[in-house]
């Protein structure tokens, strides 16, 4: 009778056989890669995939990177979505860093499998890449002008009973999630006029640190603006239903130094909207103005600062408005209004137009009506509530015995947030800094009293 212990192979023997088989498999694969042409390997791989597809109970959705020469939005969305789905257990990931972006972009690498669940259904993603020798022979190039060396597509597999879920629910879910991820990661850009560019704009990252929390402005004004922005960005379908362009106009007015430019930066940082800073003095004619406006993107803020003095715009009621403009060599108020109200405004989504001015009374009434400037926000001199925000920002204090005296002085002296900030920056010691501010406000209050005493004499002189 045979002893079962003698029949069982030793652990060393099992490991030896396994290692031998593994080495043989690796050697065979290496030889196949070296001796079998890429075209033959690709053909065999394609045939095997087709055979698997016929026998498999699964359906496969192919998502190409390009539709002809046009980028496939679904492919781009899948890349963003799957990058966010990668876990620490992923064997292989791909990382990119764009020059003007702050964060690393993590994506799934080719031939890697990723499994995702949605509403109880399981979906498997694989990125498939193949050589594109035909692009060099027939000269086909993508929109950037470069011939593509490889073709990429995603293969999304699911059970055949989930086919409708994949097409009608899951893929729209991927699109929506990818959009949110891109907005969350987006670096806000500042665009300025540049005639050397293809669309007359050049851009840099907006590194302005302004936020609504750091803005020293009237609390009610701030609340009104934030609520209005929320209502605007959430009403896409409403604007579409009523047949109006999805845009909003804001007029920021008040004395210099009250934070109009900083408020624009805070709005951009809050919404993750790019800023297009349009200096009308740099625009040569109405045709260039039209091209600049067409070159602005969706979810953006178009800013025209100091509209009352940036350029001598002709008044709509003036006689000059009815005279022909030769060679389109002048920017007219009529042209600016037509661009803001016209077809340009309906050629994109979530457009905000901001005008700033120190003198609202100098503006043509045509600029101020609803539909152009929907909300007028007055940024005035610094109030005590605004001072407390600045004290927290600059001195990192929320209370101090000198606050009471400063509150009384702010009720009488007219000081802008910029002036208050300048005084608080002069000393790191809170006590010394606040005392310096008190001296500044006392002098400012004395000057304003002196001006009031002189006003009656000035009236007599005139």
* Contacts of residue 393, Cβ cutoff 8 Å, sequence gap at least 6: 214
DSSP sequence for 347-371: SSSSEEEEEEES-GGGS-HHHHSTT
Structure tokens that stand for 115 in this block: 């499994």
The CATH architecture of the domain made up of 189-318+329-378 is 3-Layer(aba) Sandwich (3.40)
pLDDT in tens, the chain (462 residues): 445 445 455 656 665 655 666 666 555 566 656 666 766 666 777 777 666 666 678 888 999 999 888 899 999 999 999 888 887 666 777 787 766 666 677 788 888 889 999 999 999 999 998 876 654 445 445 555 555 677 899 999 999 999 999 999 999 999 999 988 888 888 899 999 988 877 789 989 998 999 999 999 999 999 999 999 999 999 999 998 998 889 999 999 999 999 999 999 999 999 999 999 998 888 888 888 888 888 888 899 999 998 887 655 544 444 444 444 444 556 777 778 777 776 666 667 899 999 999 999 888 888 888 878 899 999 999 999 999 999 999 999 999 999 999 999 999 989 999 999 999 999 999 999 999 999 999 998 666 555 544 343 343 333
CA 199 – CA 296 distance, rounded (Å): 9
Integer Cα distance of 129 and 27 in angstroms: 24
3-state secondary structure of 121: strand
Domain boundaries, the chain: 35-131+150-185, 189-318+329-378, 384-452
- The Cα–Cα gap between 108 and 245 comes to 38
Burial 26-60 (b: 16+ CB within 10 A, else e): eeeeeeeeeeeeeeeeeeeeeeeeeeeeeeeebbb
């Amino acid at each position: 009778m045979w002893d079962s212990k003698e029949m069982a192979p030793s652990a060393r023997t099992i490991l030896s056989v396994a290692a031998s088989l593994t080495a043989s498999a690796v050697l065979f694969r290496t030889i196949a890669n070296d001796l079998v042409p890429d075209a033959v390997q690709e053909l065999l791989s394609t045939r095997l995939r087709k055979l698997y597809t016929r026998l498999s109970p699964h359906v496969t959705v192919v998502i190409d990177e390009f539709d002809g020469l046009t980028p496939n939005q679904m492919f781009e969305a899948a890349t963003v979505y799957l990058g966010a789905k990668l876990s620490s257990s992923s064997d292989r990931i791909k990382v990119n860093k764009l020059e003007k972006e702050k964060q690393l972009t993590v994506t799934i690498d080719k031939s890697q499998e990723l499994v995702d669940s949605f509403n109880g259904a399981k979906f498997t993603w694989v990125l498939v890449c193949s050589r594109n020798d035909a692009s060099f022979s027939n000269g086909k190039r993508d929109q950037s002008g470069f011939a593509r060396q490889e073709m990429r597509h995603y293969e999304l597999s699911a059970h055949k009973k989930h086919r409708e879920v994949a097409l009608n629910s899951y893929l729209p879910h991927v699109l929506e999630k990818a959009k949110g991820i891109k907005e969350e990661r987006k670096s806000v850009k500042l665009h300025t006029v540049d005639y050397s560019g293809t669309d007359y704009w050049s851009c840099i990252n907006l590194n302005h640190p302004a936020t609504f929390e750091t803005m020293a402005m009237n609390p009610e004004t701030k609340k009104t603006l934030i609520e209005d922005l929320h209502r605007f960005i959430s009403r896409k379908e409403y604007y579409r239903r009523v047949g109006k362009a999805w845009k909003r106009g804001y007029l920021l007015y008040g004395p210099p130094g009250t934070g109009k430019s900083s408020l624009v930066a805070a709005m951009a940082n809050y919404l993750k909207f790019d800023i297009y800073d349009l200096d009308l003095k740099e625009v040569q004619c109405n045709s260039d103005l039209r091209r600049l406006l067409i070159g602005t993107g969706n979810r953006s803020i178009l800013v025209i600062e100091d509209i009352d003095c940036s350029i001598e715009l002709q008044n709509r009621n003036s006689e000059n408005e009815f005279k022909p403009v030769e060679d389109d060599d002048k920017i007219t108020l009529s042209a600016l209004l037509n661009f803001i109200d016209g077809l340009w405004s309906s050629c994109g989504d979530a457009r905000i137009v901001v005008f700033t001015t120190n003198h609202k009374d100098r503006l043509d009434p045509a600029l101020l009506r609803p539909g152009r400037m929907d909300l007028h926000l007055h940024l005035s001199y610094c109030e005590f509530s605004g001072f407390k925000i600045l004290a927290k920002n600059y001195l990192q204090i929320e209370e101090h015995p000198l606050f009471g005296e400063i509150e009384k002085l702010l009720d009488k002296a007219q000081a802008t947030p910029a002036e208050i900030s300048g005084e608080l920056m002069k000393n790191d010691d809170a006590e010394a800094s606040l005392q310096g501010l008190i001296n500044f406000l006392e002098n400012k209050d004395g000057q304003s009293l002196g001006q009031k005493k002189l006003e009656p004499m000035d009236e007599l002189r005139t």
